[in-house]
Amino acid sequence: MPNHLTLAVAGGRKTQGLVDYCGRATDRKIAVLTFTQTNQQEIRSRLASQAGDSSTIEVMGWYTFLLRHFAQPFLRFKFPEDRVMGFDFEGRPFQFAKGRSRFMDSGNRVYACELGKLAFELMKATPALLRRLECIYDEILIDEVQDLASFDWEILEVLLGSKIDVRMVGDVRQAVLSTNPRGQKNKKFGYAASLEWFRDREAKGLLTIAYATVTYRCRVEIATFSDTIFDATWGFPSTTSENLSETDHDGVFLLHTQHVDEYVGQFRPQCLRHSVSSAKHLNLDFQNFKGVKGATFDRVLLAPTANIESFIKKGTALEATAAAAFYVAATRARQSLAIVIDKVGTSTLPVWTPTP
């Protein structure tokens, strides 16, 4: 089976695995795709320093891929009189817009939220689109594949059945971004629920799924705690930690509000919150959960939402989107994770207190 998906835990060196693969596949024409600009820059930098300067490897964003190989060369098969003149990331068509106005603004800039649908319809409009792709690329590598949404899944399914080998890496537990967050098509597979889509395609023989369960970032205490964030019914394998570093403060702790200032002064953690409303009572230099996806910090202090508090105090299961955001935040930490909570309920996590 030429199509592969690796689902790796946080800190599992997913992106590095793609870079290493590109370094070995020197005779292959490869497109490396990912959603965020930050990740594209990271991949380009690693390829340049670790895989050599290869003219057979292209790194681009998902939107760029759809514009360059779908919309721009093949728009005439749907709208013969029009040409793509740009990209409209923020705009949206009117609710009942039809024809070209459904996909493009008055300046013929393609709406980001409709690009996936347009690309898929162009795929159906002419077999030349897929044949051209098959002539250009031997392989397509997709990083952070869980970020795909809506009609992107339809496009991916066609690619899985093509002559192009598709190799994907991601972690559905970190599914907090989306190529089309408000799209209705395939909404049931959005975010962490994309795991169901992948398992269904594996059952159909379109790909094989492998689980990379080793984290090189998180201490064993943090890795073990992160495994509890998603309910056991998801069926994720347990995480193993290869972070064997020891400091004077390692593990997962609960922290009372009255001790926050002393804790921050002593350990200098990166402070994370879901949003402003979840940390109004704390005067700290926060970043938001989603904003630190891909980042690593030695120590993290986390201001929980009401749902996270309930999870810690009562063991109440988190719904998938909330669990993913919490998982991202918790697994940014190498050595220690502190969660601010005053009433610990039935939690068995240790409570940090200042040394007398």
pLDDT band at 190 (very low <50, low <70, confident <90, very high): low
Instruction: Looking at the structure, tell me whether residues 275 and 336 fall in a common domain.
Output: yes
Instruction: Looking at the structure, tell me whether residues 190 and 289 fall in a common domain.
Output: no
Q: Give percent helix, percent strand, percent coil of the chain, each to the nearest 5.
A: 40, 20, 40
CATH number at residue 285: 3.40.50.300
Q: What is the pLDDT of residue 293?
A: 83
Taking the C-alpha atoms of residue 124 and residue 118, their distance in angstroms, rounded to an integer, is 10
* Domain presence at residue 236: no
Instruction: Looking at the structure, tell me whether residues 60 and 182 fall in a common domain.
Output: yes
* Domain presence at residue 14: yes
Closest-CA residue to 78 (of 115, 124, 147) = 124
Select from 168, 194, 212 the last residue of a domain: 212
Dihedrals phi, psi of 11, to nearest 5 degrees: 80, 15
Number of domains in the chain: 2
- pLDDT digits 0-9 by tens, 17-60: 989 988 888 789 999 999 888 888 888 988 888 876 677 899 99
Model-level pTM?
0.85
* Domain presence at residue 65: yes
Instruction: Looking at the structure, tell me whether residues 167 and 257 fall in a common domain.
Output: no
Taking the C-alpha atoms of residue 304 and residue 134, their distance in angstroms, rounded to an integer, is 48
The mean pLDDT of the chain is 91
Q: Does residue 182 register a pLDDT over 80?
A: no
Instruction: Looking at the structure, tell me whether residues 263 and 167 fall in a common domain.
Output: no
State the residue range of the domain holding 198: 4-212
pLDDT band at 217 (very low <50, low <70, confident <90, very high): very high
Instruction: Looking at the structure, tell me whether residues 259 and 201 fall in a common domain.
Output: no
* Domain presence at residue 95: yes
* Domain presence at residue 223: no
Instruction: Looking at the structure, tell me whether residues 199 and 68 fall in a common domain.
Output: yes
| Structure-token match 């804790």, residue found | 263
Instruction: Looking at the structure, tell me whether residues 186 and 307 fall in a common domain.
Output: no
> C-alpha angle 312/313/318, rounded to 5°?
50
| Structure-token match 């649908």, residue found | 117
H or E segment at 60? Answer: strand 57-61
Average pLDDT value for residue range 121-147 = 95
* Domain presence at residue 218: no
Judge contact between 290 and 328, C-beta under 8 A: yes
H or E segment at 223? Answer: helix 220-227
pLDDT band at 111 (very low <50, low <70, confident <90, very high): very high
* Domain presence at residue 188: yes
- pLDDT digits 0-9 by tens, 80-109: 999 999 999 989 998 888 999 999 999 999
Select from 169, 188, 212 the last residue of a domain: 212
Instruction: Looking at the structure, tell me whether residues 284 and 177 fall in a common domain.
Output: no
Taking the C-alpha atoms of residue 150 and residue 114, their distance in angstroms, rounded to an integer, is 10
Judge contact between 212 and 6, C-beta under 8 A: yes
Dihedrals phi, psi of 225, to nearest 5 degrees: -65, -40
Instruction: Looking at the structure, tell me whether residues 183 and 254 fall in a common domain.
Output: no
Instruction: Looking at the structure, tell me whether residues 143 and 264 fall in a common domain.
Output: no
Could you tell me how many residues make up the chain? 356
pLDDT band at 180 (very low <50, low <70, confident <90, very high): low
Instruction: Looking at the structure, tell me whether residues 288 and 207 fall in a common domain.
Output: no
Closest-CA residue to 12 (of 172, 217, 187) = 217
- Judging by beta carbons within 10 Å of its beta carbon (0-12, 13-18, 19+), is residue 1 exposed, middle or buried? exposed
* Domain presence at residue 229: no
